[in-house]
A and B are shown apart, each in its own frame.
Chain A
C-alpha cells in the first residue's frame, strides 16, 4: 500500500520531538545511490513503470546511515521546524550501521514503529573471480541470498570502505551496484561528496520498539489483513460521520507490502 510508505516520516515527525534525537551538524562523507524499484504486484500491473529514488549512504568512521533522500530531508525539516519539502519517499525503512551490527528501522501501517538489530555478517556471498569495469573502477561480482531474493552485487576495493547499500555491508570492498534476480530492486552508486550537514544519532530513538527479524515479519503478516477501520476500532475510536458508509480507503485491507525488498 503506497500510502503507508509516504507517511512513515510524517508520523515520526509528529511523535518524535526533535530534541530526543540528538543531532549535530558536522562533516562526513556522503555516497549517493540511485534506487530503481517496483513496489507493486507484477502480476496485476506487469507493465507499470518502476520508481526512482535517491538514497544517501552517510559514513562517519565505522558508522553509517542508509536512508532515502526524502526521509532524510523530512528529518532535517522537523529539526528546523519547517515544513518538509517536495520530495517524498515510498520506502518504509531506513538502516543504520555501527561496527558489526546493522539496525533496520521500519514502520507498519503508519502507526507502529519497530527496529531490528542484526549482525553485519549475515548474508553468505559467493565471489566470482572475474573482474569487471564499473565506470572506470574495477569491480568483482558476488552472489548471495537474502529473505527470498537472490542478489548480485558488484564491489570494488578502490574505495577504502567496507560498506554498501541496504544490508550488503560484509563484502571485501565497497558495493557500487546491487540488484536482485528479478530486477525489482536495483541500487547503483552515483557519486560521493564531502558534506557538512545533520548527522542523526538514531540509537537514542526509543520510539522504535526493538523486535527480532522474525517478529517483525510476523507483525507485517498480521497487519496485512487489517483495514484502517479495524485499527481505529481497536483504539475505540469512531468515524466522525458515522451515518455514512465508511469510504473504501477505511475498509480496504492494508494487504501485504507489494514486492517488498525482503520476502520473509
Chain B
C-alpha cells in the first residue's frame, strides 16, 4: 500500500514537469505540411529545448520538461513563413498555419578556405618523404600520397598510368622508366613533380585534354652516376644470373646502359618492357617477320613454362641516350644487342594412318625422330627518334635499323639414320615511321601517319643427307649435301589520314589509308658433292609481287545506358600483281571488298549481360604461298600454285555473363563459330620416314570451327574462398588430302576444370587447379582418343614481414593407347629482405623432383605424336640484389 503512494507521488511529480505540446501544421489551404521542424525554445535565450519533425499528416507531439513559465513554439521549413508564438508552459494543442513565403538565403563568409592549389603541377619535396632506409627513387615514390608502384616498376598516380617520365624535362627511356626508378638514388633527387592531365603534344595543350599524368624528376646540382645490380649463382652445373645497370643524369646529357646475362633458363627476350599509355596520335608500329621460311625439322616444344626447358647462355646489353637540341627539339637513341645460345634435345614418335575409300586402315606409317639442336641468335637494334613538340606543330619521327644473324645447327636421327641440318638467317630491316598533326578548321585536327619499311630476309638451309633423305626426284639422291637458298627483299609503306567527330551518343570516324608493298622472292636449290651444282628451274622461284591497297574505313559507335554498339564498314580496293620470271607469266587480281563487322553489348539488368559480334573478311593468298616450284625446308618439299586466290571467312560469337553480388554466385559462357572457304587445298604426300611433299590444288574446301564454354562459380565471403567449375568443347571440321586420300576429319576437344582458392588468412594463400581433358580425332570410321589430367597446387606463406615462402606443385598425366605419361614438378622459393641495408636475398630451388624429360601426346587432323623433350634438371640459385 505504501508503494502505491510513492508511485502516485512520483507520477504526479513527473506529470507536473512533463508537458506535451502537440498539434498540426497546415498551409494556407489547410493542406497538412510534413517534415516541418517544430521546436520549443526558451523565450529569453531562444535556445532550443526540444523539437520534432511533423509527420505525413502534419502532426507533431513534443514532450518538454521545463521549469520556465512560458515557452516559445517555433515552426519553420524552407519557403514558408516562420511561425513563432509564446505560450504557457502547459500541455496544449496548437494549430500552426504557415504561409507560402520565399526564404531569403544570405551569403555568409565564415572563414577563409584553405589554400588549395588547382595548378596542373604538384611539387613533392623529396626530403619530406624520404626515410633513412630508402635507397632508390622508387622507394620514396611508393610513400607519396596518390602514388602506386607495381612489382615490375609501373607507376600510377591517382590510379592512372603515366604517359611520360621525364628527368629534367627529358624523356630518356621512352617508357622503360623502371630502369631509372629502380636504380637512381633518392639522395640525388631534389624534387618530384607530378603534372596532372599532361598533354605531351604542345600543339594540343588546352585543346585535346589528357587524362594521364606525367612525372618530372629534378636533380640536385651535381652530376649523378648511379645504378644497381643483381648477382646470382647456383649449381649444378655452374649457373649464373646477373644484371648490372649504371646510369648517368646531368642537365646536359642523359644516358643509361645495362647488361644482363644468365644461363639459368630466364628468357631475356622480354626484358625491358615499355610502360605507358600510348595516345591515338602515336606512330604506326609494324614488323615483318624474318627467318621463318626455312627451318630445321625439330621436335615441338612442350606445353609447359619456358623456364623449365630453356637450356641457354644469354647476354643482353642496352644503351640509351638523350640529347636536347633546343627547347622544342629532342633526339633519342636507344640501342640494344643480344647474343643468345640455346640447346634443345627431344624425340618424337609419330603415327599416320592411311585410309582407303571405305574408311578402313590401309597402311600405318610410323616413324621416330630424335634431335639435338643448337640455336644461335644475335641481334643488334638501334632506334633514333626525333620529336618536335611546339605550340603550332607536332611531329614525331623515328628511324630504326635492325640487323640479325641467326644460326641453327642440329643432328637428327630419323629412325636411327643420321641427318645433319643447319640454317643461316642473316636479315636486315630499315624502317621509318612518323606521325604528325595537321590543324583543320577550328579546333579540329587531322592525324597523318606514315610508315616505310625495307626488309631483307635471307636464309640458307643445308642438309647433309648421308643417303637418308628421300626426294621427289631420285636423281637428287646422289648429292651428299643439299643447299636451299632463299632471299626476300620487301618494301612496305602504309599511310593514313583520319578524322573523327561526335553527334549526341554516336561517334563517327573516317579513315583513309593507302598501302603499297613490293617484294622480290627468290629461291634456288643446289646440290654438292665436290662442286656445287644448281639443280635447275624445277627447284627455282623468282617472283616479284606488288600489292596496292586503298582503304576507306567508316566506323560508327554508340554508347547508351544498356546498349553499346560498334559498326565498322571498310571498303577495300586491292590490286595485286605477281610476276613469275621462271615461267614468264603474270598473274593479277583486282578486287573491291567489303569487310563489315558489328559488335553489340546489351545489359539486360544489373545481373545479366549479353554480348555478341560478327565479322566478314576476305583475304588473299600471301606471297609465302604463291611460289610454284619446290622449296625444301624441315626435310619437306612444298610448292603452291602461283595464283592469287581469295579466302572468305565469317566469324561470329555470342557471350553471356551473370553475376549475383548478394550471394556471390557467378556464371558466364560463350559460343564461337568460324567458317572459312578457301579456293586452294594442300595435298600432302607423307612417306614412311615422315618426310612430306606438299602441293597445292585448285579445289574449294571449307574449314569450320565451333567452340563453346561455360564457367560457374561461387564466392564464399565468410571463408574468403572461391570455387569455380568450367567446361569447354571445341570442334573442328576440315577436309584433308593425305597420300591421295581425300576425306573429312573432325577433331573434338573437351576440357573440364575445377579451381579452388582461399585467402582467409593474410599470411597464407592457397590455390588448387584441376583439369581433365579428352581429345578425339574422327577420320571416317577411325577414331583416335587421348586423355589427360593435371593437378596444380600453389601455397604462399608470409609468416613474418621480412620472410616469404612459396611452394608449387605441378602434376600432369597423358594417357594414350594404354600408355601413361606423367610429368611432375615441384619448386620452392624463399626470400629474405634485409630492410636496413636494402638488400634482398633470394633462394630458389626449381624442379626439386629432378624431372628430366617432358612427355606429351599431340593429336591433330593428320597425325598422332608422342613427344619427349629434355628439361632443365633440378637447380638451385642464390641471388643478392643491392644498389651502388
Which residues of A approach B to under 8 Å, CB–CB?
3, 6-7, 15-17, 19-20, 29, 32, 34, 52, 54, 59, 61-62, 81-88, 99-100, 108, 112, 120-121, 127, 129-131, 134-135, 137-138, 140, 157, 159-162, 170-173, 176, 189-194, 206-207, 209, 215, 218-219, 221-227, 230, 233-236, 243, 247-249, 251, 253
A-side contacts of B715, CB under 8 Å: 222, 225-226, 230, 234
Q: Are A121 and B79 in contact (CB under 8 A)?
A: no
> Do A120 and B35 form a contact, CB below 8 Å, given A3-B159, A191-B113, A230-B722?
yes
Contact B158 A209 (CB under 8 A): no
Chain A residue numbers with a CB within 8 Å of B49 are 127, 129
Quick one: which of B35, B118, B560, B668 contacts A85, CB cutoff 8 A? B118
Taking a contact as CB atoms closer than 8 A, the residue among B110, B657, B664 that contacts A189 in the complex is B110
Q: Check A235 against B159 for contact (C-beta < 8 Å).
A: no
Indicate whether B441 reaches chain A with its CB closer than 8 angstroms. no
Let me know if B148 is at the binding interface, CB within 8 A: yes
Known: A59-B105, A236-B670. 7 other contacts (CB 8 A): A15-B561, A86-B196, A87-B118, A135-B110, A172-B74, A191-B113, A219-B661
Q: Which of B48, B107, B113 has the most CB of A within 10 A?
A: B48
Q: Are A17 and B48 in contact (CB under 8 A)?
A: no
Q: Which of B49, B79, B561, B724 is most buried by chain A, counting CB atoms within 10 A of its CB? A: B561
Task: Given A17-B559, A17-B561, A160-B78, decide whether A236 and B51 contact each other with a Cβ distance below 8 A.
Answer: no
Closest to B106 in A: A192
Which of chain A's residues has its CB closest to B655's CB? A236
In contact, A218 and B662 (Cβ under 8 angstroms): yes
Q: Give min CB distance, B811 to chain A, whole Å.
A: 19
Query: Which of chain B's residues have a CB closer than 8 A to the CB of A100?
Result: 34-35, 53, 56
**Of residues A54, A226, A248, which shows the largest number of chain B Cβ atoms within 10 Å of its Cβ?**
A226
B47 x A129 contact (CB < 8 A) = yes
Distance to closest chain B CB from A224 (angstroms): 8
A151 to B79, CA, bound (A): 29
Q: How far is the CB of A144 from chain B (nearest CB, A)?
A: 13
Report yes or no: B37 in contact with A17, Cβ–Cβ below 8 A.
Answer: no
Closest Cβ neighbor of A120 among chain B residues? B35
Shortest CB-to-CB span from A156 to chain B, Å, is 10
A62 to chain B, nearest CB (A): 6
Q: A161-B105, A207-B561 are in contact. Are A225 and B759 (CB under 8 A)?
A: yes
A100 to B116, CA, bound (A): 35
Whether A62 and B111, one on each chain, are in contact in the complex, defined by CB atoms closer than 8 angstroms, is: no
Asked if A235 and B717 sit within 8 Å, CB to CB, the answer is no
B659 touches A192 (CB 8 A): no
Complex Cα distance, B76 from A135, in Å, reads: 23
Q: Is the CB of A222 within 8 A of B561?
A: no
7 CB contacts below 8 A, A to B, read A88-B158, A121-B53, A135-B111, A160-B78, A162-B77, A190-B112, A193-B107
- Which residues of the partner chain B approach A61 to less than 8 Å between Cβ atoms? 78-79
Indicate if the CB atoms of B669 and A236 lie closer than 8 Å: yes
* Cβ–Cβ contact B661 & A222, under 8 A: yes
* B103 / chain A contacts, CB cutoff of 8 Å: 160-161
> B211 contacts the other chain (Cβ, under 8 Å)?
yes
Inter-chain contact A157/B34, CB cutoff 8 Å = no
Which of the residues A6, A34, A157 comes within 8 Å of B113, measured between beta carbons? A34
Q: Report how far A190 CA is from B670 CA in the complex, Å.
A: 55
Q: Is the interface of B mostly helix, strand, loop or mixed?
A: loop
- Considering the complex, give the chain A residue whose CB is closest to the CB of B796: A251
Quick check: A159 and B108 within 8 Å, CB to CB? yes
Judged by a CB distance under 8 angstroms, whether B606 is at the interface is yes
Pairwise interchain contact B720-A20, C-beta atoms closer than 8 A: no
Task: Please report the C-alpha to C-alpha distance between residue A54 and residue B191 in the assembled complex, in whole angstroms.
Answer: 27
Residues of B within 8 A of A131 (CB): 45, 47
Q: Which of B137-190 contact A (CB under 8 A)?
A: 148, 150-152, 158-159
The docked-state distance in angstroms from the alpha carbon of A83 to that of B765 is 40
From the candidates B35, B209, B759, name the one contacting A227 in the complex (CB within 8 A): B759
Q: Which residues of A contact B113 (CB under 8 A)?
A: 32, 34, 54, 190-191
Type the 1/0 row for B70-102, where 1 means its CB is closer than 8 Å to any CB of A: 000010111100100000000000000000000
In the complex, are the beta carbons of B118 and A86 less than 8 A apart? yes
Q: From A6, A54, A129, A191, give the contact of B110 (CB < 8 A).
A: A191
Of all chain A residues, the one with the shortest Cβ separation from B564 is: A15
Closest residue of chain B to A177, judged by CB?
B110
A contact residues around B78 at 8 Å (CB): 59, 61-62, 160-162
Tell me, rounded to whole Å, the shortest Cβ–Cβ distance linking B31 to chain A: 14
Considering the chains assembled together, what is the distance between the CA atoms of A170 and B39 in angstroms? Answer: 11
CB pair B662–A219 under 8 Å, yes or no, is yes
Q: Which interface class (under 10, 10 to 19, 20 to 34, 35 or more) fits B?
A: 35 or more
**What residue in chain B is nearest A237 (Cβ atoms)?**
B668
Residues of A within 8 A of B757 (CB): 230
Partner of B197, one of A86, A121, A243: A86
In the assembled complex, how far is the CB of residue A79 from the closest CB belonging to chain B, in whole angstroms? 13
In the bound assembly, the distance between CA atoms of A99 and B56 in angstroms comes to 11
Q: How many angstroms between the C-alpha atoms of A137 and B790 in the bound complex?
A: 74
Question: CA A227 – CA B560 in complex, angstroms?
Answer: 29
Closest beta carbon of chain B to A21's beta carbon, Å:
11
| CA gap between A3 and B146 in the complex, in Å | 9
The chain B residue with its CB closest to the CB of A63 is: B78
Known: A61-B79, A190-B110, A191-B109. A247 touches B53 (CB 8 A): no
Contact B110 A225 (CB under 8 A): no
Give the docked Cα–Cα distance between A48 and B35 (Å): 41
Option from B50, B118, B561 in Cβ contact (under 8 Å) with A16: B561
Query: In the complex, which residue of chain A has the Cβ closest to the Cβ of B48?
Result: A172
Nearest-CB distance from A112 to chain B (Å)?
Answer: 6
- B859 to chain A minimum Cβ distance, whole angstroms, is 24
- Looking at the assembled complex, report how far the CB atom of A140 sits from the nearest CB atom of chain B, in whole angstroms: 6
Residue from B48, B110, B211, B560 within 8 A of A140 (CB atoms): B48
Which residues in A have their C-beta under 8 angstroms from that of B661?
Answer: 108, 112, 219, 222-223
Contact with A along B290-305 (1 / 0, CB 8 A): 0000000000000001
- Complex CA gap A98/B95 in Å reads 25
When distances are taken between beta carbons in the complex, the residues of chain A under 8 Å from B655 are 236
Residues of B within 8 A of A162 (CB): 37, 76-78
Q: Give the residues in chain A near B713, CB-CB below 8 Å.
A: 233-234
Cβ of B699 within 8 Å of any chain A Cβ, yes or no, is no
Question: Does chain A have a CB within 8 A of B784?
Answer: no
Please tell me if the beta carbons of B151 and A253 are within 8 angstroms of each other in the complex: no
Q: Contacts A87-B118, A160-B103; is A234 near B659 (CB within 8 Å)?
A: yes
CB <8 Å contact, B47 and A194:
no
A154 to B42, CA, bound (A): 17
B536 at the interface (CB under 8 A from A): no
Q: Indicate with 1 or 0, residue by residue over B254-290, a CB within 8 angstroms of chain A CB atoms.
A: 0000000000000000000000000000000000000
8 closest A-B pairs by CB? A83-B209, A236-B668, A234-B666, A172-B39, A172-B51, A100-B35, A225-B720, A135-B110
A149 CA to B759 CA, complexed, in Å: 30
Alpha-carbon distance A145/B12, docked complex (angstroms) = 32
A247 to B505, CA, bound (A): 36
A7 to B160, CA, bound (A): 10
List chain A residues, Cβ under 8 A from B657: 235-236
B766 nearest CB across to chain A (Å): 12
B502 within 8 A of A: yes
Closest partner residue, chain A, to B51 (CB atom):
A172
- Measured between alpha carbons, how far is A53 from B110 in the docked complex, in Å? 17
Q: Are A173 and B110 in contact (CB under 8 A)?
A: no
Q: Kindly report which residue of chain B lies nearest to residue A245, judged by CB atoms.
A: B151
Kindly state whether residue B863 has any CB partner on chain A within 8 Å.
no
How many angstroms between the C-alpha atoms of A162 and B35 in the bound complex?
A: 10
A251 neighbours in B (Cβ, 8 Å)? 765
Q: How far is it, in angstroms, between the C-alpha of A139 and the C-alpha of B299 when the chains are bound? A: 85
Inter-chain CA distance A32–B42, complex, in Å, is 30
For A6, list chain B residues within 8 Å (CB): 158-159
Given the contacts A129-B47, A160-B76, A249 and B561 also touching, CB distance less than 8 Å: no
B510 interfacial contact with A, CB 8 Å: no
Find chain A residues with CB under 8 A from B717 CB: 221-222, 224-226
Q: Are B561 and A248 in contact (CB under 8 A)?
A: no
Q: How far is the CB of B339 from chain A (nearest CB, A)?
A: 24
